[in-house]
Structure 1
Amino acid sequence: MTRTIVIGGGIAGLASAALLAREGHEVTLLEARAELGGRAGVWATDGFRFDTGPSWYLMPEVFEHFYRLFGTTAAEQLDLVKLDPGYRVLFEGDPTPVDVLADRAANIRLFEKIQPGAGAALARYLDSATETYDLAVKRFLYSSYESFRPFLVPDVLRRLGRLARLLLQPLNKFVAGYVTDPRLRQILGYPAVFLGSAPNLTPSMYHLMSHLDLADGVLYPQGGFGTLLDSIAAIASAEGVRIVTDARVTAIRVTDDRTIAGVTYLDEAGQTVHLDAANVVSAADLHHTETELVPAALQTYPQRWWDKRVSGPGAVLVMLGVTGELPQLQHHSLFFTTDWGKNFGQIFGKHPSVPSPASLYVCMPSATDESVAPTGHSNLFVLVPVPPDVHLGHGGINGEGSRAIELIADAAIEQVSRWAGIGDLADRVVVRRTVGPADFAEDLNSWKGGALGPAHTLRQSAFLRGSNISKKISGLYYAGGTTIPGIGLPMCLISAEILLKRMRHDTTTGPLNEPLPARPKRATGNPVESAHERS
């Protein structure tokens, strides 16, 4: 069997390890931290449990497909509920929030109520979004771009003109061609944030994202997103993957003929361990992998490449345990400033600064899931987009973070309190933890301390985003949100599948057939263990 090392125990690393083990590889996964999950982490204290990263369950068919590859289903693995409303939007200076609902027909009626004629416009918009989404899944998202010949097919060729327009026109201008009400324009432009970008920087190709929340609806796994990661870790373990935590990779070793030799890592006790392998898959941040772990002369993406790239936003995360219920908020609530173009300019412009007030996001999973907070309490996760700048500092518990981070958190709490009409919100906080860009850089090796990865601008989308294979080292591959196809939990699952296709030299553009063939017989059920426990 081929020995393969996977670096990183986030969703992409776990999924990649599981797929490769099923393929017959002898897989060892190395995770630097004591716990798995990466950006999709969990923090628990005093009866509260917080998802510290992703909180939107979109593209459910991608999760379903991944589970079916292994002979199971999302229904068997997760307790999914559909949110209705899917989310609430609060607008600066407007006392009336807008609740985006759980299905297409209801949202068409909602748009029509806000702006006469907007219902029919939304129907046309969603028709376009759905068509574009279906084409993307069939022809682009699952492609490694190893060959462009599979794109020379009738359904792509006859749409070349339209695809070119969608790539070259920014999303905000595309949206403006459908609706005039600024609130509706913000609702349709907001998906750019999921892509780590801004509506004026994101190609209108990504209007396909509106198919996900306005037509498909938003789901939530009871117990939180940690249950999703646990299920994928369990699949990887059942496939025979050896999962090692507290194992920080310090170098990817290469032979004189530019072939992978293995990795060097530090175990929990600080001891240096050399592990040989024929392949290495880095699901860690691509910038960190290339500029820190790979020898300088063999970097496919050296620092000068990154100097020409645009990072997605940084984030200040604020986790709050609050006494009492908060009916003014939904499971997902978005707070949009009137001049949100200025907000995006402060984050992505030449002279970055922290927006104030900010267009921010609040997740209150306790509205749906009683297990995430003690009885009679609420669980709030607040995300404030900021420039990707490690100099903003670290977060902390109970106000012990860097001064800049805590001031941003204070302002966000005050903003939520005032806009949502929760006058005593700050007084009701019993648990508080913040996370800043410096934490993303230190804990996750995130480029510039960004929260997501490279923004989905035109020059950083599809095959222009980069390749999932090293051009200079035989046997080195990449997976995760910083490589193709991009940002988000579903994209990370797809990246793992693209990795397998790349190793197979499979240039097909659609998802793999379900289920995968049975793996070669060997030991299964390896537990998660620390390097220190085995040393």
Structure 2
Amino acid sequence: MTPAPTRIAVIGGGIAGLASAALLAADGHDVDLFEQQPEVGGRAGSRTVDGFRFDTGPSWLLMPEVFDHFFQLLGSSMEEQLDLQVLDPAYRVFFEGESGTEPPPHLDVMADTAANLAAFEQIESGAGSALAAYLDSSREAYAIALRHFLYTNFTSALAQASPDVARRLPRLLPQLARSLESFVAARFSDVRLRQVLGYPAVFLGSSPDRAPSLYHLMSALDLTGGVMYPQGGFARLIEVIAALATERGVRIHTGATVTAVTTQATGLRRGALPVPRLQRPRARVTGVRWRGADGLDHEHHADVVVGAGDLHHLETQLLPHELRTYPQKYWDTQVSGPGAVLVLLGVQGELPQLPHHSLFFTHDWHANFDAIFGGRVPTPASVYVCKPSATDSGVAPKGHENLFVLVPVPADPTLGRGGAHGAGDPVIERVADAAITQVAEWAGIPDLAERIVVRHTIGPGDFAADLSAWQGGMLGPSHTLRQSAMFRSRNRSRHVDGLLYAGASTIPGIGLPMCLISAELVLKHLRGDTSTGPSPVPTRTGPLSEAP
């Protein structure tokens, strides 16, 4: 049953905030969204420089069924809203090799599962059949997660106690207690294959030795159906969701920095049943206070506030201490995902050595990840490179390539901020120089540095300043066991009635699909829906206007 219309304020115009606003407005609520930057997008932002358009955040589209379900909740579909292309190869992996030896040839991970089985078998005898069994297990874990652990607020213990889950507990429980690295190593000997199967932990803000092996479910995504790319880039995805939100009545305010969540103390209603003190909210939300680009302060009254930006910032900066569900002492016990140095490059001429996605893996992963999570910049680093101009002609001028280089570093804003043409802080620019040299040498592009015509860097200091990101992290809290599923920060304040949370900081976690699901979980809260699966899709009753 759709609830009575409520006035709602959404803080943050990233994908979680836009998706929350769109779903709530479609459900009949009166919604205003406040974004501190001049444009919406958050971590899924974009930047245009001299004819090059760079996505500055997510670049892999996985879990397409989650995107399609979200669009269906708004009476549309992924096919109607996005022009998607399956990448083949899905990605290419370059390997460093052992010290003093020639690096092994690169490995292409294809969109076709059979091709990946054959590639694994060619590298290691028996690895093809081992991968087939591994993927069967990953598909099962992924299906269980979708049905029981992703689309839930964990408000009802009985909801997870289904026969479907109980039947699989003997297999699922050991996967929580064991690391992904150990799980993979028990099945594959070759370091290269272990790296391919362990790398998805990085998408979760973790590392193979820190992430639970249950997350091997990620391999059901990139090894069995490929990776997708939306024409126009991920900026197009943001445009589409913003347009759907606006069409449904959402008022989007940019350059609007929320400075406080306003509240009013609560008391027991006369005649109400007594509630234990620890379960009783101390206040109820009344709205937000925000500052416009002109420097003027404003008050906005709301019955519900959805914090869809960084949860650490909201809890520690926008609420008084006594109303914080997650005060600083909570964050002192948490583990952040890595930070990043992003290097946006416009390159003259073609780069056939690089497909759309490339990964450059160092041989000693332990040293690499231990450095990142120990507060040190790794040397050398494992690097990711995206070349969207391989698929999308609109992201670079003719005769040029667009490169997005990501170097994982510690989540530490004191490393500095980036800048244009090498003008960023020294540490950031040194990391960028090293990454450019590494890509040039490993991929066989000796003149790469000389062909760069546009260069812009972004560092952890930028994530902290522009996105209010906790510790300057690029993703959010890491998916360790203590920070996964029901152990992750919940999406509802314990002390402020009407204050809800969405985004990568809260359940279900990091990544574009998870942020879309978190928006749906807010909708479920307001509907009083305690189910564990996706919400029912409304019946379409007429023609749908397409997003521009």
User: Above 0.5 in TM-score?
Assistant: yes
Q: Which residue of 1 aligns with 2:505?
A: 482
**Matched AA of 1:89:** V
Pairing 1:184–2:193 present: yes
Q: CA deviation at 1:516?
A: 6.8
Q: CA deviation at 1:95?
A: 4.8
Q: CA deviation at 1:110?
A: 1.0
Q: For residues 74 and 294 of structure 2, what CA distance do their matches in structure 1 show? A: 35
Q: For residues 24 and 540 of structure 2, what CA distance do their matches in structure 1 show? A: 12
Pairing 1:64–2:68 present: yes
Q: Which residue of 1 aligns with 2:41?
A: 37
2:437 to 401, 410, 414: 414
User: Any idea what the Cα deviations from partners look like across 1:401-449, whole Å, max 9, x if unmatched?
Assistant: 0011001100000010111110010000000000000000000000000
Q: CA deviation at 1:161?
A: 2.3
Pairing 1:292–2:301 present: no
Specify the SS of the correspondent of 1:215: coil
Alpha carbons 2:75, 2:540 under 8 Å: kept = no
Q: CA deviation at 1:74?
A: 1.2
User: Any idea what the Cα deviations from partners look like across 1:275-304, whole Å, max 9, x if unmatched?
Assistant: 011100000100001000011110000000
Q: Which residue of 1 aligns with 2:272?
A: none
Specify the SS of the correspondent of 1:259: strand
Pairing 1:139–2:148 present: yes
Alpha carbons 1:146, 1:502 under 8 Å: kept = no
Pairing 1:314–2:327 present: no
User: Pairwise mapping of residues 150-229 of structure 1 onto structure 2 (< 5 A)?
Assistant: 150-229=159-238
Pairing 1:262–2:287 present: yes
Unmatched runs of 5 consecutive residues or more in structure 2 = 98-102, 267-282
User: Pairwise mapping of residues 90-129 of structure 1 onto structure 2 (< 5 A)?
Assistant: 90-93=94-97, 94-129=103-138
Alpha carbons 2:54, 2:402 under 8 Å: kept = yes
Q: For residues 61 and 517 of structure 1, what CA distance do their matches in structure 2 show? A: 18
2:27 to 9, 23, 27: 23
Alpha carbons 2:343, 2:432 under 8 Å: kept = yes
Q: Which residue of 1 aligns with 2:489?
A: 466
**Matched AA of 1:462:** A
Q: Which residue of 1 aligns with 2:12?
A: 8
Specify the SS of the correspondent of 1:43: strand
Q: CA deviation at 1:151?
A: 1.2
Alpha carbons 1:390, 1:449 under 8 Å: kept = yes
Q: Which residue of 2 aligns with 1:235?
A: 244
User: Any idea what the Cα deviations from partners look like across 1:308-344, whole Å, max 9, x if unmatched?
Assistant: 0000000000000000011111100000000011100
Alpha carbons 1:132, 1:208 under 8 Å: kept = yes
Pairing 1:323–2:326 present: no
User: Pairwise mapping of residues 39-58 of structure 1 onto structure 2 (< 5 A)?
Assistant: 39-58=43-62
**Matched AA of 1:422:** I
Q: For residues 342 and 223 of structure 1, what CA distance do their matches in structure 2 show? A: 37
Alpha carbons 1:170, 1:200 under 8 Å: kept = yes
User: Any idea what the Cα deviations from partners look like across 1:253-277, whole Å, max 9, x if unmatched?
Assistant: 0102201011000011000000011
Q: Which residue of 1 aligns with 2:269?
A: none
Q: For residues 442 and 237 of structure 1, what CA distance do their matches in structure 2 show? A: 27
Pairing 1:499–2:508 present: no
Q: CA deviation at 1:380?
A: 0.3
Q: For residues 326 and 540 of structure 2, what CA distance do their matches in structure 1 show? A: 35
Q: For residues 492 and 425 of structure 1, what CA distance do their matches in structure 2 show? A: 36
**Matched AA of 1:155:** D
Specify the SS of the correspondent of 1:158: helix
User: Any idea what the Cα deviations from partners look like across 1:37-73, whole Å, max 9, x if unmatched?
Assistant: 0000010011100000000000011111111111211
User: Any idea what the Cα deviations from partners look like across 1:455-505, whole Å, max 9, x if unmatched?
Assistant: 000000001002100000000000001100000000000000011111222
Q: Which residue of 2 aligns with 1:515?
A: 538
Aligned residues: 521
**Matched AA of 1:251:** A
Q: For residues 388 and 320 of structure 2, what CA distance do their matches in structure 1 show? A: 44
Q: Which residue of 1 aligns with 2:280?
A: none
Q: CA deviation at 1:237?
A: 0.6
Q: For residues 143 and 105 of structure 1, what CA distance do their matches in structure 2 show? A: 34
Structure 1 runs (4+) deviating above 2 angstroms are: 515-518
Check 1:356–1:516 CA distance in 2 against 1; reply closer, same or farther (3 A cut). farther
Q: Which residue of 1 aligns with 2:158?
A: 149
User: Any idea what the Cα deviations from partners look like across 1:323-370, whole Å, max 9, x if unmatched?
Assistant: 001111110000000001110000113xx2100110010000001111
User: Pairwise mapping of residues 263-278 of structure 1 onto structure 2 (< 5 A)?
Assistant: 263-278=288-303
**Matched AA of 2:312:** H
Q: CA deviation at 1:194?
A: 0.2
Q: For residues 33 and 353 of structure 1, what CA distance do their matches in structure 2 show? A: 30
Identity within the alignment, % = 61
Of the structure 1 ranges 63-72 and 188-197, higher mean CA displacement relative to structure 2 is found in 63-72
TM-score (norm 2): 0.93
Check 1:495–1:516 CA distance in 2 against 1; reply closer, same or farther (3 A cut). farther
1:438 to 456, 461, 486: 461
Q: For residues 119 and 47 of structure 1, what CA distance do their matches in structure 2 show? A: 44
Q: For residues 246 and 358 of structure 1, what CA distance do their matches in structure 2 show? A: 36
Q: CA deviation at 1:159?
A: 1.6
**Matched AA of 2:148:** R
Q: For residues 196 and 103 of structure 1, what CA distance do their matches in structure 2 show? A: 27
**Matched AA of 1:20:** L
Unmatched runs of 5 consecutive residues or more in structure 1 = 519-524, 528-535
2:377 to 332, 354, 359: 354
TM-score (norm 1): 0.96
Q: Which residue of 2 aligns with 1:522?
A: none
**Matched AA of 2:64:** P
